[in-house]
Structure 1
Amino acid sequence: MPETWDYTLYIPNDLRAVTVCRRTVRLILTMHGLIAFADTAELLAAELASNAVRHTKGSAALRVRRFPEGAVWIGAWDGDPEPPDPPRRLEEVEDLEEGRGLGLVMACADNWGWQPATRFGDRGKFVWCDLAVS
């Protein structure tokens, strides 16, 4: 059975936080012997964190967990309770500078979704994805 762990990184509403999230996810996976998945996990974390920071106001959080089944789960919480815009297929947005985020998540993760959530007493949502790494 794989080792389980759970990290949460609280981030300000600042686009520079996306880089911090990317590097933190790479460090977490490296320290837990999962470097082979770091590139994909970094991309997923960056897209989720970027959406949380770009499309909402206030603080956000990135959570990275490893489940007993072996999957790595990455989720971004933000204070906006509205569901994310539906993802568009990458073929539809490949020439755009913006609007590809959830399409990339959908293409690179094994599963993804969103759910209403509260944090710090505020209503909001988690947008999450997972990678089967076992």
Structure 2
Amino acid sequence: MVTVSPSECEVSPTWAYALQLPHDPRAARIARVTLRAVLAGHDMSQLQDSAELLATELVTNAYRYSSGPATLRLRGLAHTRLRVSVWDANPHIPPPFDKRSGPVGPVPPEADRGRGLFLVCHYAQAWGGYPLGGGLSGRGGKLLWCEVGASAVDRAAVA
């Protein structure tokens, strides 16, 4: 019989939190407050600035381009990485998350929109998106995600 000791299980601990957000302009602020508490509770506050920026952009896009609620999910990957995911009911996956377009470049100064995903691409170490079918839960839409870790924190310090 093979057994696993607790110390072996702690080599790569993961955790996850999900926060249901109403379609409300205050959702991004609520997401940031929650994110701060979660990162502090898991001794990962060094990721806070970059993670707040990424979560704010994804939650704001869910509010702007969807007419219903959204879900923020935070998942710790080992002790040094965080995955931020946002679900919303709009099935459209914007570039570069759609993987059909190239990287997002700088936005012209006169543009009213378009800077958020540029920031996500700059500060995240990885990102992606995929459509979600209706399935048993009846939830369609999409899920956009990004990951931040130590090297993204280093880039934020330089910027």
Structure 2 residue 138 is the aligned partner of structure 1 residue 121 = yes
Point out the more displaced range, 49-58 or 118-127. 118-127
Q: Percent identity?
A: 38
Task: Give 1:83 shift.
Answer: 1.2
* Structure 2 length-normalised TM: 0.75
Structure of larger gyration radius: 2
* Structure 1 length-normalised TM: 0.88
Segments of 5+ residues of structure 1 without an aligned counterpart are none
Structure 2 residue 89 is the aligned partner of structure 1 residue 79 = yes
Contact kept, 8 Å, 1:45 with 1:74, in 2: the verdict is yes
Point out the more displaced range, 117-126 or 50-59. 117-126
Cα RMSD after superposing both structures: 2.1
Segments of 5+ residues of structure 2 without an aligned counterpart are 1-10, 97-102, 152-159
The one of 54, 62, 71 aligned to 1:61: 71
Aligned equivalent of 1:108: 123
- The structure that is strand-richer by fraction is 1
Contact kept, 8 Å, 2:75 with 2:83, in 1: the verdict is yes
CA distance in 1, matches of 2:43, 2:89: 33
* Cα offsets for 1:94-114 (capped at 9, x unmatched): 554422111110000000110
Task: Give 1:6 shift.
Answer: 0.3
Contact kept, 8 Å, 1:93 with 1:100, in 2: the verdict is no
**Secondary structure of 2:33's partner?**
helix
The 5 Å alignment of 1:7-86 reads: 7-68=17-78, 70-86=80-96
The number of aligned residues is 133
CA distance in 1, matches of 2:29, 2:12: 28
CA distance in 1, matches of 2:128, 2:77: 17
CA distance in 2, matches of 1:105, 1:99: 11
**Secondary structure of 1:27's partner?**
helix
Are the structure 2 counterparts of residues 78 and 64 from structure 1 closer, same or farther at C-alpha, using a change threshold of 3 Å? same
